[in-house]
Every structure is written in C-alpha cells, then in structure tokens.
Structure 1
Amino acid sequence: MAKTKNIVKKNPSLTPWTSSWTDIERSMDNIRKNMEQAFSSFHSMPKISHTSCDVIDEGKQYRVKMDVPGIKKNEIKLNVTENSVEVTAEHKESSEDKKKNYLRKERSQISYYRSLPLSGKVQPNKVIAKLTDGVLDITLPKSTPSETQMKKSVSIS
C-alpha cells in the first residue's frame, strides 16, 4: 500500500501576527485611512485627523507630546492605564446664519484619536497633562524608574 503525504498549503492571511507595535500601528493607520476614504462621501461624518506625537523615555517618567491643533482643553479626553495612554479629542463648529434660501450650509468637525502602548508601567494617578499652543504635553511617572540610556558614538569602518 502506498503512503500518501498530506500537503497543507499555508495561507498567509491565517498566519499568526508576529510584528512589532510599530507594524501594528502602521496597519491600524492604513485601516483608518481606508475607512476615511470609504466614508468621505458622507458629509455628516467627522474628519478624523492623524495627529503626530513624540514618546520620550526620560528615565523616571515617559513624556508624550501630541499635536492637536484647533482643540480646546475641555474637548480632550485622556485615559491612562498602567501601560497605555488613550487620547480622544473632538471639536465642532457651527455658525448660525439667519438668511433664508441658502443653497449650502456647512459645519466643521474634527476628531483625533490615538492609543499608545507604553513599554513600562506608569502611575496613572500621578499623570500630569497640559495643553499649550495646540500641543498636548503628558507627563507619565513610571512605577519603577529606569536609567536613561546613554548614547555612544561608534565609528564605521
């Protein structure tokens, strides 16, 4: 009797995800952009803007600086867990014009959303945040401070 081999083809879409957080964040950004393109014809949908941010390890604390232009501090929701930061912001503007028979009336609305995983644990009850000139500055004290890594210049041969 002849032996048969079971040949299983691997489906790349079913393989486990073994990427870094930056790859995952890049994929989520692509999904967000695709969703915005798909719903761009709906005028009532808020514009979700991608906001740039810096995450800095300062040894005893993490520091997040995030651009949120056009947003007031009472329009920001900041949620912090011991290993992540979530920022949601939404600004709506509407002008009332008493003229009749207008052909077009528009309202502006902008939203920001970022969820940032942290590489270490922080103390959520000691987080400080302030908004200055459209930049949200978040200070997150670490649960266990670490030494700031020193940079050393290495010559290339």
Structure 2
Amino acid sequence: MSDTQELKVREKQEVASPAEQTKPGLVFTPSVDIFETDKSLTLLVDMPGVKTDDLDVDLRDDTLTLTGDVSPLLATPGEKVFVEYETGRYYRQFSLSEVIAQDKIDAKLSDGVLRLTLPKVEKATPRRIAVQSE
C-alpha cells in the first residue's frame, strides 16, 4: 500500500428501502468482492451477525437477491453506556447473465461471510462436423 492510501474501516451503509418494507428497521448494503475464473464467479458477501437461519438467497427471473437479518446482541445487565452494534437487514441484488448456470449456484455462510459460487455454463465442445455428399 502506498503512503497516500489509508486503510479505512467500512461501516454498515444504510440504503434507501429496496421496496415498501413490512418490517421496521434499518436496511444495509453488504460489502461484496467478486472474483472470476474461466469456470465460475465467486461472490464474497460481508454479513456479520447474520445466522444461517436468518439468511435468504433467492433466485427469480435472473435476479439473485440476498437478504439477511441481524438480531440484537444478547442483553447484558446494567445501563447502556455506548452502543455501536447496529441491527437491521442486509439487502443486495444482482442481475445474472445467460453465462451463469443458475441451477448449480452454491452458497455457504462461515464467520459472517457468505460465499456464493456461480458456475458458468459449459460452452459447446469444439468439434469437426463431417460433411456428407448425396
């Protein structure tokens, strides 16, 4: 890292409601890193505090929608002096192209990071086509 760059902690970014919410609370955009190989795309989605039971990965009409709820931390005895931990819902959508094999998408949640593997469709194997005469 150069001297002019700083390492900054990215806070949960609140976004405008993606649609009319029926559930009160804040909505956050999770940070996402995307990596590509010849065979797949990998998305690493930062969702700290989300448990597997509170995570929904939905694929509909070529749109991949991620939602995850962050529950409040366990209550501790005593008066709150300072609280930075925000609860709410993570929400992010991705439009998928025809190169993604949608029926083979894999999702794993570990230590607050959702790893989505989006395999690409296999291209037709090149082959020589024999021409027959009549």
TM-score interval (norm. to shorter): 0.5 to 0.7
SS in 1 for 2:24: coil
The answer (yes or no) to whether the contact 1:82–1:123 under 8 Å persists in 2 is no
Higher mean C-alpha displacement, 88-97 vs 115-124: 88-97
Paired residue for 1:58? 37
More helix by share: 1
The structure 2 residue matched to 1:75, chosen from 30, 48, 54, is 54
Identity %: 26
Q: Call closer, same or farther: CA 1:55–1:118 in 2, change over 3 Å.
A: farther
Deviation at 1:94, TM superposition (A): 7.7
Aligned residues: 103
Structure 2 portions without partners, runs of 5+: 1-12, 18-22, 77-85, 124-134
1:89/1:112 contact within 8 Å kept: yes
Letter of the structure 2 residue corresponding to residue 48 of structure 1: V
CA RMSD of aligned residues (A): 3.5
How far 1:95 sits from its partner (Å)? 6.2
Per-residue displacement from partner, 1:16-60 (whole Å, max 9, x unpaired)?
xxxxxxxxxxxxx99x34x6xxxxxxxx83111121101222111
Cα displacement (A) at 1:125 = 2.3
Superposed displacement of residue 93, structure 1: 3.2
Matched, 1:143 2:121: yes
Give the CA deviation at 1:84.
3.5
TM-score norm. by structure 2 comes to 0.59
Alpha-carbon distance in 2 for matches of 1:84, 1:78:
10
Per-residue deviation, 1:111:
0.2
Scaled by the length of structure 1, the TM-score of the pair is 0.51
1:129 maps to 2:107: yes
- Structure 1's unaligned 5+ residue stretches are 1-28, 36-43, 98-107, 146-157
Larger gyration radius, structure 1 or structure 2: 1
Higher share of residues assigned strand? 2
For residues 133 and 96 of structure 1, do their structure 2 counterparts lie closer, same or farther at Cα, with a shift above 3 Å needed? closer
Once the two structures are overlaid, the 10-residue window that deviates more, 69-78 or 112-121, is: 112-121
